[in-house]
Amino acid sequence: MKMKLTAAAVLVAALGATAWGLAAAQGKAAVTPKDGLSWKEVVPGVSMAVVDGDPAKGPSHFYLKYKSGLVTPLHHHSADHYVTTLSGVLVLSAEGKEHRLPAGSYFALTGKAPHAAKVEGAEDAVMFIDARGAWDVVAEKSDRDGRRPSGRRPSMIESD
């Protein structure tokens, strides 16, 4: 009995070491220097540089650059996403509040949270996005009297 337990323990240890070794050997590093980014304008005033994945098909990591003065209409994204502002100042309107987000700020938009944004100041706003699914932009619709789904009328940074 003792021999069987010892043999089983050795087998488990050997399999664990082999699995750990294979996992370590399969690791990889992805590095993209700033001058290696490939920016593409996706709509006037908005450029994207993808560093991982395909935003049209599934989870991805990419940079978004909003030109100074850009104002977005109220919209949402189907995929949950997590964002870090890298430069400039982004003013995010979500859940009825405006949030001023200078470089180094973080925000998450999940569950198709409606939001709008504008760039404050003379500097473009650059953000890094961790999108957990295919990336899309879905405009929010107003009802007939011009109210948003929340019951609010559009503010100066929200348009129909």
Give Cα 48 distance to the centre of its chain: 12
Q: What is the pTM of this model?
A: 0.73
B/e letters for 43-62, b = 16+ CB within 10 Å, e = fewer, are eebebbbbeebebeeebbbb
Which residues sit opposite 107 in a β-bridge?
Answer: 83
Summarised one tens digit per residue, pLDDT across range 48-104 is 999 999 999 999 999 999 999 999 999 999 999 999 999 999 999 999 999 999 999
Summarised one tens digit per residue, pLDDT across range 93-145 is 999 999 999 999 999 999 999 999 999 999 999 999 999 999 999 999 864 34
